[in-house]
Structure 1
Amino acid sequence: MSPGKTKHELRIFTPLGQLGQGWSEQIFWDTIDVGVDAIIIDGGSTDSGPGRLALGKPNVPRDRLAKDLGMLAQACHMYHVPVLIGSAGGDGEGALVDMCVDIIREAITANGYRPLKVISIYSDISKDLVRQKLKNNLITPCGAAVPELTEDDISASTRIVAQMGLEPYLQAMQSNPGFDMIIGGRAFDPSPYAAFCLYHGFEDMGVNYAMGKIMECGAVCAQPKSREALAVVRHSDFDIVPLDPKSRCTPVSVAAHFLYEKTRPDMIHGPGGALNLNDTSYEQVDDRTVRVRGARFEPEPEGEYTVKLEGARVNGYQTIFLGALRDPILLSQLDSWVASIEAVVKEHTSGFTYDLKIHKYGVNGVMGSLEPDTSTVPKEVFIAGQARAPTQHQANQVASTAKFCFTHAPYTGQLATAGNFAWPFTPCEIPMGPLSEFCVYHIMHKVDPVGLFPIKVHDFHGDNSFNAQPYTAGVAKPGAGLKPIACNATDAPKKYYLTLEPKEGTCYLADIASVVRSKNAGPYELTFDVMFEDQETYNKVKEAEILTRETIARLYRVADEDVIASLYWDPAMAYKATIKRPWVSGGYGETDTHGSQQHAPLLYLVLPFGRK
C-alpha cells in the first residue's frame, strides 16, 4: 500500500470502542479476510473518572490488553494490515504506552510472528512547560464549568497528558512507511483515523474527522448498538456499517452519535480546530449502511494550535462501608437520623481533618443535589458511606465509627432494638486507598503539534515461524461489498410508569421519545440528549417550547448560568442540553461517575398533548 498513490477509497475496521474489552473473533477474522486498509482502535477515556490518571493504572487488566493486542499483532503478521491505537492503556501516559509495546514484543517472540515495526508516540507533558505557559497566559479552562488553572493544580498532579491531534501519527507514518503498528499516547479520539486518511491522500478533513468521531466508539451508532464497525471512506463522503448482523445504522442513529458525550453536536472542538457539522447530511444506502457527507473542519489560525491537557491528583485516602436500611419507622426520619450520626462521629473523631459522605441510594443517592423529587419515603435505602482523611488509618477510623452508629444508633419510635443496618460483606469497612480527583482539564495555546509528542521506533525481531491458517468459522463474511444482512433486532420493550399515568390530553416525554439519556461531556459537564423517531413528533415537541433552558434549570435545580447549552438539532431530530456538573466526575462525594443515570426527571416531563 503506497502512500504515494491516491486510492479511490479506504476501508477502515474498528473491532470495538475501547481496546481490552474484547470482540467477536469470527467477525474480526472474516472482516480482515475480506480486506481492510487499516485497523484503528481507541484505547482510553476519562469516563471512568480520575483514578487511572492519578494512580497510573490501566483501564483494563494487562491480560485483557494482551489478548486484544496479541490478536492485532497476529493480523499484522498474517495480512500485513496496519494497526493504529490511540490513548493506549486508558489515560495514554507513557508507561502504559510502553506496556502495550512490551505486550506486542512478547507476542511476536512467543508466537513466531514475522519482524514487525512498531511505533510509539508519547503524550506526557512536562510540568515546567505547563507552568511556563500558565505564566505566559497561554492556559485557559476547557469549558465554562472548569475553574482557572493554578500552580497548586500543576504541582499536585501526579502526571499531565495532552490530547494529540493527527500530526504525530502522520509524522510517524511519513517517516516510517513500512510500519506495522502505531501505539499512541493520549489522543483526540478521531486523530489516528484522520491521520491515516490524510496519509493516503484523502484531504477533506471534515470527512476524515467526522468518520473518526463516529468510528472511535465502534458500532455504538447502530441500532441496537454493537461493537464491530466498518467505514468506507471516499474523497467526499464515507459509509458506515455495523458488522454484527443483528445491528443496522440509520441516518438518525448515526447523526445522533454526534450528540453523544459532547457539549454541543454542531461544533466539536479538538486539537488544531473544530469539526463543523451544521451542513452534514445522512443518507440510507441500504438496509444497514449510512452515507455521511458535508462535514467541515475549520482549522485554527496559523501559529494558534491548541491541545487539551488532562491531569489528576491524589487528595487523601478513603474507606467505604456498604449496607441497607429497611425499617419504615427509621426511613420516615432518615435525614435527621443520619445528621445525628454525623454529629456522633464528629464528637468521637479528633486530631485530624476528615470528610464523611453518606450516599442514600433510593432517596437521592444517584442524583444528589440535582434530584427534583425528595418527597417520597422509599421501601428500602442502600447506604454507601464514604470517609476521607489524610491517612488510610484515619479514614478507617471514621468509617468504623460511622458504621457502628448506623448499626446501633437509636431513633424515635424504635421497635427493632437488635440493630438497624443490613450489610452484605464482612469486614464491612473496606479501605479503598488513595482518593483521586481531576485538577487539570485545560487548553494549552500556541503549541508545536508534532514536537510536543516524541516518537520512538521499535524494530522487533520475529523468526516468522508462525504459519497458522486464517480463522475459518464457515459463516458469511460481514462487510463484503457492504451487502445488507437481515436485522434480527427485537421490538423495543413497552414503556411503563413508576408514577401516575399522565392526565388526559397530556403525555410524558418518555411516551414519545426514542432516546432520553444523560452522560458526562468530560469531567466537568453533564449532557442530556432527547431524540424522536419521526419528524412529526419532533416538530410537535419543538413547537410546544417545553424543552428549554429554563426547563432544564428548573428540573435539575441549577442556576440559569449553569445551563451551558440548550438547543434543538434537526439532523438527529433531537434536543440537547448541557449543565455544569455539581461536582467533578469521580471526585469525593461522587454519586454517578459515568453520568448516565441523571436522565430520569426528563422522562416524566409533561407535554401539553396526548400520545398518538
Structure 2
Amino acid sequence: MDSISYLSPTGVLGVGFSENHFLAAIASRDLAFIGCDAGSTDGGPANLGGNKPFFSRAAIKRDLRILVTGARSINVPLFIGSCGGSGGNWNLNWVWEIVQEIAREESLHFKTAIIESEVPRETLIQKYRDGKIKALDPAPEIDESVFKDADHIVAMMGAEAYVAALEGGADVVLAGRSTDAAIFAAVPVAKGFPAGLCWHAAKIMECGGAAVVTMEKPEGMICTVTQKDFTLEPVSPQQQCSPLSVAAHALYETADPYRMLEPGGEMDLTNAQYEAVDERRVRVTGSQFNPKPYTVKLEGAKKIGYRAMVLGGVRDPVILEQFDSWFGGLQDHISENIEAVYGESIRGQYQIDYKIYGRSGVLGAREPNPTIGNEVGLLMVTLAQTQEIAYAIAGQAAHMVLHHSVPQWEGLLSNLAFPIAPHFWSLGEAYQFVLNHVVELDHPLELHPIRYEDI
C-alpha cells in the first residue's frame, strides 16, 4: 500500500460540523476510515465522576447520525474515542444507546465493538502493590485508598484496542477513554506506515480541522499518509492550511512541542519539516516515534462535596484603589460570620474559592501584569459537605461583600453589582481528579475488554 487516507470531521463529537462538506469529502475520496474524538478533561472531573455527558444528547445524536450513515454508505469503519466525554462505562453505554437508536431509525445493520476503559479496582491495587503505577509531575500523594474511594477510574487506551476491534470484524468502534491520537494512528501504524508520521498526523487530526489558518467554525480534515510524509487538507473549501498553522498545533495542549508521550512510545517532532503543497494543503516530513515501555494514563475522579457560587462586579474607584486591603478584610469578616452561624467546628469543613476577574483571574499567581482597571468581576465559589451549607455560605458571603465598607465612605454601602437574580445559586455535586499517574501493562489490551454487538 503506497498511501492511506482518512477523515476527521470535527475536533470533538457534539460540537458540530457542516454536513454538506462532510458528504462531499466522503464521496470524493478513497478513505480507509473515519474517526472522531468525543472526550476531554477540559470540563474538569465532573463528567467522569458524576456520569455526565460532555454535550447534550441532541448534539451527540446529530453528529453521530451523519457519521454512522456516512461511514456505512461508503463501507468504511467508524471510530469514536472517549465516548460520552469521559469514556467511563456509563458514558460509553449512553453513546451505545444513541447508536442503536440511529440504526433503528435509519434501518442500518452493522457490527459494533464496545471497548471499556473503567478498570477493576482490585486490578489497580495489585498493580500498585507490584510497583507498576508511576506518578506523573505534578501528582498527588496516593495510597491504596485512592483506588477504593474514587467514584470512577479510567485508563486511556492506545491504538492496539482499535486494531483489535477491526480484526474482530467491527464496522463501528465505540471506545471508552482513549488517547486522542490513538483513534487516528491505529490503522496507519497497523498497515505498516512509519510510526512517527502516523502519530504526528494523528495528534493533529484528533482536533478535526483545527490546524487551519483561521477556524471560524468547526470543520474537518483529511489526512493522507505515505512512507515518506503526510499531507493535510481541510474538508471545507473555504479553509486553508499553512506550514505555520500546522506546525503551531504542536503547541496545543502539550508541555513540550517536540516530545509527546503515547502508550508504547514518544513522538519526537524535533526534525519535523512543514511545507506548502498549494494554497490549502501542507506536507509534513521528519517526524519520529521512539518506543518506550507500554504505559497508559489513569484518570480518577472523586466526589468532594457540593458547590454554590456568587458572581458580581465591583466598579467603585475608591474601593479599587485599596482593593487588596478591602478584599483581605472582607475575607476575614466572611470567615467570622460563618463561624458565628455554624460555630468553630465549621473550620476545615468548607472552602471559598475567590476569583478576581480584571486582575489575575485567569493566570492567578503567574499573571505578569497584576493590575486593576476600572472594574473587576468577583467570583466566589463555596464548597461544603452538603448542598444546603454550600448554598447558605454563598448567601452569607454575597451579603458580606455587598456591604463591606472602606474608611472613605459613611453609612450603608452597596459594593457589588449582580448580573443575575437570584444572585447566588447552587452548583450541585463537586468532584476532583485524584490521579495523575500511569500504569505499566503486561500487554496493550490488559485493561480494555472488547465486546461485540450486532445491530
- Distance in 2 separating the partners of 1:203 and 1:78: 27
- How big is the shift at 1:337? 2.1
Contact 1:154 1:440 in 2 (8 A): no
Q: Does 1:74 align with 2:69?
A: yes
1:181 to 162, 167, 172: 172
- Counterpart of 2:283 in structure 1 is 291
Residues 373 and 233 (structure 1), Cα distance of their counterparts in 2 relative to 1, 3 Å cut: closer
Contact 2:49 2:301 in 1 (8 A): yes
- Counterpart of 1:151 in structure 2 is 144
Q: Does 1:323 align with 2:315?
A: no
- Counterpart of 1:207 in structure 2 is 197
Q: TM-score, normalised by structure 2?
A: 0.93
- How big is the shift at 1:89? 1.1
1:223 to 213, 216, 226: 213
- Distance in 1 separating the partners of 2:332 and 2:230: 62
- Distance in 2 separating the partners of 1:273 and 1:432: 40
- How big is the shift at 1:347? 2.1
Secondary structure of the structure 2 residue equivalent to 1:255: helix
- Distance in 1 separating the partners of 2:337 and 2:274: 63
- Counterpart of 2:406 in structure 1 is 411
- Counterpart of 1:336 in structure 2 is 325
- Counterpart of 1:538 in structure 2 is none
Q: TM-score, normalised by structure 1?
A: 0.70
Counterpart AA for 2:177: R
- Counterpart of 2:47 in structure 1 is 52
- Distance in 1 separating the partners of 2:129 and 2:145: 13
- Distance in 2 separating the partners of 1:316 and 1:335: 30
Aligned length: 445
- Distance in 2 separating the partners of 1:231 and 1:373: 41
Contact 2:138 2:436 in 1 (8 A): no
- Distance in 1 separating the partners of 2:442 and 2:296: 7
- How big is the shift at 1:10? 1.8
Residues 25 and 415 (structure 1), Cα distance of their counterparts in 2 relative to 1, 3 Å cut: farther
- Distance in 1 separating the partners of 2:442 and 2:426: 42
1:249 to 241, 248, 258: 241
- How big is the shift at 1:216? 0.5
Secondary structure of the structure 1 residue equivalent to 2:435: strand
- How big is the shift at 1:74? 1.3
**Matched ranges for 1:377-416 at <5 A:** 377-414=372-409
Counterpart AA for 1:252: L
Deviation per CA, 1:412-442: give whole Å up to 9, x if none. 1116835222102121111111222111120
- How big is the shift at 1:309? 0.6
- Distance in 1 separating the partners of 2:75 and 2:441: 38
2:336 to 312, 327, 347: 347
Q: Output the aligned Cα RMSD.
A: 1.7
1:371 to 357, 361, 367: 367
**Matched ranges for 1:411-490 at <5 A:** 411-414=406-409, 417-460=412-455
Deviation per CA, 1:18-51: give whole Å up to 9, x if none. 0111100110111111132211111111122222
Deviation per CA, 1:267-303: give whole Å up to 9, x if none. 2111111112222222221111111122222222xxx
Secondary structure of the structure 2 residue equivalent to 1:258: helix
- How big is the shift at 1:57? 0.8
Deviation per CA, 1:75-98: give whole Å up to 9, x if none. 133222321111111111122111
- How big is the shift at 1:341? 2.5
- Distance in 2 separating the partners of 1:45 and 1:152: 26
Q: Does 1:194 align with 2:185?
A: yes
Residues 107 and 377 (structure 1), Cα distance of their counterparts in 2 relative to 1, 3 Å cut: closer
Counterpart AA for 2:253: E
- Counterpart of 1:357 in structure 2 is 353
Q: Does 1:310 align with 2:299?
A: yes
- How big is the shift at 1:247? 2.2
- Counterpart of 2:25 in structure 1 is 31
- Distance in 1 separating the partners of 2:185 and 2:426: 44
Residues 136 and 326 (structure 1), Cα distance of their counterparts in 2 relative to 1, 3 Å cut: same
- Counterpart of 1:264 in structure 2 is 256
- Distance in 2 separating the partners of 1:415 and 1:380: 21
Deviation per CA, 1:381-427: give whole Å up to 9, x if none. 11111111111111112111111111222221116835222102121
Counterpart AA for 2:262: G
Counterpart AA for 2:77: P
Contact 1:140 1:148 in 2 (8 A): no
Deviation per CA, 1:313-343: give whole Å up to 9, x if none. 1212111011111111122222222222322
* Higher helix proportion (structure 1 or 2): 2
Unaligned runs of 5+ in 2: none
Runs of 4+ that moved beyond 4 A: none
- Distance in 2 separating the partners of 1:344 and 1:447: 56
Counterpart AA for 1:79: I
- Counterpart of 1:93 in structure 2 is 88
- Distance in 2 separating the partners of 1:393 and 1:147: 29
Q: Does 1:117 align with 2:117?
A: no
Residues 414 and 196 (structure 1), Cα distance of their counterparts in 2 relative to 1, 3 Å cut: same
Residues 291 and 372 (structure 1), Cα distance of their counterparts in 2 relative to 1, 3 Å cut: closer
- Distance in 1 separating the partners of 2:294 and 2:414: 62
Task: Name which of structure 1's ranges 388-397 and 351-360 shifts more when overlaid on structure 2.
Answer: 351-360
Deviation per CA, 1:355-385: give whole Å up to 9, x if none. 12222111222222222333x4421111111
Secondary structure of the structure 1 residue equivalent to 2:436: strand
- Distance in 2 separating the partners of 1:426 and 1:159: 35
Q: Does 1:170 align with 2:163?
A: yes
- Counterpart of 1:479 in structure 2 is none
